Amino acid sequence: MENQQPIQSTYDVNCKVVGVSDGDTFTCLTNDKQQLKIRMNQVDAPEKNQDFGQASKKALSAMIFGKVVGLKTNGTDKYGRTIAEAFYDGKNINKAMVAGGYAWAYREYMTDNEYASLETTARSNTTGLWSQPNPTYPSDFRRMGKGQTTAPTQTQEIATTIAPTVSDSGASCGSKRYCKQMVTCAEARHYLNDCGVSRLDRDGDGVPCESICN
């Protein structure tokens, strides 16, 4: 039997994770065998049928499945799920999912700005889902699935809002991550040198996207 880490008394609930539905939802059992469905607070993971959805679920499972976690709860959602931040061995699992590029900061319900900062860092480092071209904010994906919109409006708005300014170049770092997205060699050099998108220089010779920078 796995030795469980002691749970701090500051948590509202302690429970053992017995199932993981996706990258932001899991089921756990309390000491009195009460089953709780948990919707992780302030994060939104890709849907199971969305790009990186299965990878997100697998990452969360690796972190908490079979383990006793502490929960800081924040009521319930319209589906009756308990909204909570989950902790294991003192680590905030919600934030770890965002930092690892397995979930987005959930703008509609975010109260802690650190989630957005962690997402920005993961995006800049092309970590996890940010290694994919043009990832779609899960809320947009769900709306498009219901036919409510034809364009990922929040995805575009978020990319514009969080793009850091590059002070010495006078340009900004957008969401482009691949050579096929670059229009000019100058743009490719900007993303490599100013924005740190190292994938543009696969052979490490300092020349990005050699198909256009030759």
Q: For residue range 103-131, what is the model confidence (pLDDT) as tens digits?
A: 999 988 899 999 999 999 998 888 999 98
Is residue 46 within 8 Å of 69, Cβ to Cβ? Answer: no
Indicate the range of 21-35, 128-142, 157-171 predicted with least confidence: 157-171
The residues carrying an active-site annotation are 39, 47, 81
Compute the distance between CA of residue 103 and CA of residue 23 in angstroms, rounded to an integer.
Answer: 7
Compute the distance between CA of residue 63 and CA of residue 77 in angstroms, rounded to an integer.
Answer: 24
Task: Please give the single-letter amino acid code of residue 87.
Answer: F
Compute the distance between CA of residue 58 and CA of residue 61 in angstroms, rounded to an integer.
Answer: 5
Residue 45 has pLDDT above 50, yes or no: yes
The predicted model scores a pTM of 0.70
Residue 143 has pLDDT above 50, yes or no: yes
pLDDT the model gives residue 24: 97
Domain boundaries, the chain: 13-162, 166-214
Q: Out of 1.10.287.950, 3.40.50.720, 3.30.420.10, 2.40.50.90, select the CATH number for domain 13-162.
A: 2.40.50.90
Residue in 185, 180, 177 with CA at minimum distance from that of residue 212: 185
pLDDT the model gives residue 112: 94
pLDDT the model gives residue 164: 41
The pLDDT of 33-49, averaged and rounded, is: 95
CA dist list (Å): 143 to 111, 136, 153: 23, 11, 10
